[in-house]
Amino acid sequence: MAASACPLRVILDEKEIRQLILNMARNGLGAMQPGGTLTIGARVIKNSPVLFIKDEGTGLDDNLLSQIGTPFFTTKENGAGLGLAVCYRIVARHKAKIEVDTSPQGTTFWIRFPNSREHYAFPVR
């Protein structure tokens, strides 16, 4: 991508972000019927780098929404209920924020990273 098209720099832990995308993509795929589209993308929104994972699945009701990210919370027969708990920890370590847009037509998880003017305190290992 040309430098001008990507004006913001964000420092990420590659392994952790890979894990986050995998956990969210697996959830999205599991929530959809065959033929649904899973979209993974990145954008700059209000000066902040944002990663998003969008599915066309069944969505989350208010009760579910209030419980996701709680360790061991699952609605799946063989779920551990750890996928999103791990994602929330990874996001917190990156000083990022998760927002969820959901409806019976699908769900988008938005992960907003701090912009380059915000204090960046991700520990370098």
Ligand X SMILES: Nc1ncnc2c1ncn2[C@@H]1O[C@H](COP(=O)(O)OP(=O)(O)OP(=O)(O)O)[C@@H](O)[C@H]1O
Residues that bind ligand X (CB under 6 A): 23, 27-28, 31, 55, 57-58, 60, 64, 68, 73-76, 79-85, 107
Give every CB contact of residue 85 below 8 A, 6+ residues apart in sequence.
Answer: 69, 70, 71, 72, 73
What is the signed CA dihedral for 116, 102, 54, 35, rounded to 10 degrees? 180
Q: Segment contacting Mg ion (CB under 5 A): 46-54, 63-71, 75-83, 99-107?
A: 75-83
Structure tokens at 73: 């919370």
25: phi then psi, degrees, rounded to nearest 5? -65, -40
Pairwise CA distance, residues 51 & 109, whole Å:
8
Shortest gap between Cβ of 70 and ligand X (angstroms)? 8
Q: Which residue is nearest to ligand X (CB)?
A: 83
Would you count residue 27 as binding Mg ion (CB under 5 A)? Answer: yes
Binding mask 32-71 for Mg ion (x = CB under 5 A): ----------------------------------------
Q: Alpha-carbon Rg of the chain, whole angstroms?
A: 15
Shortest gap between Cβ of 108 and ligand X (angstroms)? 9
User: Which residues contribute to the site for Mg ion (CB under 5 A)?
Assistant: 27, 83
